[in-house]
Amino acid sequence: MTVPTRRLHRPLTAAATSVLTVLVATVLPAVPAGTAAGSASDAGAATAAPLTQERYAALGDSSAAGPIIVPQRPGAPSPCYRSAVNFPSLVAAALGTSGAAFADATCSSAETIHAFETQGQNPPQLDAVDGRTTLVSVGPIGANDAGIVSAVVRCLVPGCAQREGDEMRAAVAAVRPGVRRVLAAVRREAPRAAVVVVGYGRYVPPGACPLTQPLTVADATYVQDLIDRLNGILAGEARRAGATFTDLGATPGALDHTACAPPGRRWLEGLVPLSGDGAVPFHPTALGMRAFAGQVVRAAGQARNEQLRAARASLSVGQRCVRGRPRLTVRGGLGLVDRVGFRTAGTTRRVDVAAPYRWRVRGPVTRRAVVRVRLVRPGAGSLRVLRPVLRRCR
């Protein structure tokens, strides 16, 4: 998410405008121009890396970018306001990924359309993703499409849940097609990547904290409900796309580190920023970024395992007769096949390390062949043994 520099679904009242000016007038201008994706803007020009090296691309809005959290990336001020300690950077460090193997394309003010279109002078976020990418985190994203932060500011005037609840719930529901389009494009551009969809965090606990944050209990509950609805869309579209969803609000300890917590313990800043690390209102703090990075790293491991299971399940061996001999061809594997060994009668006859993985059987044709398929991706590997029945060719 980002602070409300974009269009509003409803105009702010004079009181809300005054408070907003005090809170964020010096925090974050709109994104007028910019630079390419952080630290790996030249990833597309790099030479192809082996599959055993993680190549990580992060897409999302300011809830991922970490606007104003210090330190900002070298060369700041960058119009995307990416922190050097945002959760994508911490995830990359945990995975041992750096340099051209890490592309942080997150950007403050981003909407789903900015996966495909420029944002000021910043390139489309999908430019950070290609066929060599092995891990993509998508999100948080979608809150700017729906105008949620602007809605939160309007809630400084009590009664926002009653005034505009139906309109905002419809705005959140309208985000779904954009999320679906982004995930389909990621799958198309990075077919062998594990994909993690990242949801938004837990901003207020049940019962809220009207003495700490200037929202009534009803309005704070309504705001969190908007976030939860958006997370539900992200989770549903992740399942539909075969991606792994992780809810930052489910990070262990999240309920103890909401915007209602004391300033030094908050993972998400409140409407009055008090954490002292540069976090802007209604965004993750530096402490939160560290906690959320652990959640995303765990989700990345889950995504790897799910991808390997799917790759194993997709494997099959085709067979046809070529010049009077059976020829075996391994199919499937979701682009994760590293090598294939073919064997009959207890002896390895061929090891193939490049597609197409095939072998024309020579010598006596036994009843079965043994096909050992090694799948590999960064941080994990798997072996699948197939035993196709050989057909005699006439």
Do 381 and 242 lie in one domain? The reply is no
Do 306 and 329 lie in one domain? The reply is no
Do 95 and 166 lie in one domain? The reply is yes
**Domain contains 1:** no
Give the C-alpha separation, 285 to 141, whole Å. Answer: 17
Burial of 387 (0-12, 13-18, 19+ CB in 10 A): exposed
CATH of the domain at 300: 3.40.50.1110
Do 294 and 330 lie in one domain? The reply is no
Do 321 and 274 lie in one domain? The reply is no
Do 249 and 335 lie in one domain? The reply is no
HEC string of 320-385?
EEECCEEEEEEECCCCCEEEEEEEECCEEEEEECCCCCEEECCCCCCCECEEEEEEEECCEEEEEE
**Domain contains 2:** no
Q: How high is the pLDDT of residue 347?
A: 67
Q: How far is CA 145 from the centre of its chain?
A: 17
**Domain contains 391:** no
Do 320 and 183 lie in one domain? The reply is no
Q: How high is the pLDDT of residue 51?
A: 58
Q: Which amino acid is at 331?
A: R
Burial of 173 (0-12, 13-18, 19+ CB in 10 A): middle
- Structure tokens that stand for 221 in this block: 């509950």
**Domain contains 176:** yes
Q: How high is the pLDDT of residue 273?
A: 77
Q: How high is the pLDDT of residue 17?
A: 39
Give the C-alpha separation, 313 to 24, whole Å. Answer: 51
Domain that holds residue 353: 315-386
State the total domains in the chain: 2
Closest C-alpha among 325, 320, 322, 359 to residue 339: 359
pLDDT means over runs of 10, the chain (394 residues): 42 41 37 42 32 87 94 70 96 93 95 95 94 95 96 94 96 98 97 96 93 94 97 98 96 94 92 78 94 97 93 94 91 92 79 90 80 86 90 82
Phi then psi for residue 98, to 5 deg, are -155, 175
- Secondary element (H or E) of residue 196: strand 194-198
Do 19 and 85 lie in one domain? The reply is yes
CATH of the domain at 344: 2.60.40
Helices (H), the chain: 14-24, 62-65, 87-94, 143-146, 148-154, 160-173, 176-189, 217-241, 286-314
**Domain contains 7:** no
Cα angle 65-94-128, degrees, rounded to a multiple of 5: 45
Q: How high is the pLDDT of residue 311?
A: 93
**Reported pTM:** 0.83
Do 336 and 258 lie in one domain? The reply is no
Which one of 252, 286, 310 terminates a domain? 310
Phi then psi for residue 374, to 5 deg, are -100, 120
Burial of 192 (0-12, 13-18, 19+ CB in 10 A): middle
Query: 3-class SS at 125?
Result: helix
Torsional class of 100: left (φ above 0), alpha (ψ -120 to 50), beta (otherwise): alpha
Do 319 and 305 lie in one domain? The reply is no
Which one of 310, 328, 343 terminates a domain? 310
**Domain contains 9:** no
On whether the CB atoms of residues 91 and 138 are closer than 8 A, the answer is no
**Domain contains 173:** yes
Do 260 and 374 lie in one domain? The reply is no
HEC string of 241-270?
HCCEEECHHHCCCHHHCCCCCCHHHCCECC
- Count other Cβ atoms within 10 Å, centred on residue 135: 28
Find the distance separating the first CA and the last CA of the chain, reported in whole Å.
Answer: 66
Which one of 292, 310, 328 terminates a domain? 310
Q: How high is the pLDDT of residue 204?
A: 93
Closest C-alpha among 73, 92, 89, 93 to residue 81: 73
Q: How high is the pLDDT of residue 77?
A: 44
**Domain contains 5:** no
Give the C-alpha separation, 274 to 278, whole Å. Answer: 9
Do 29 and 60 lie in one domain? The reply is yes
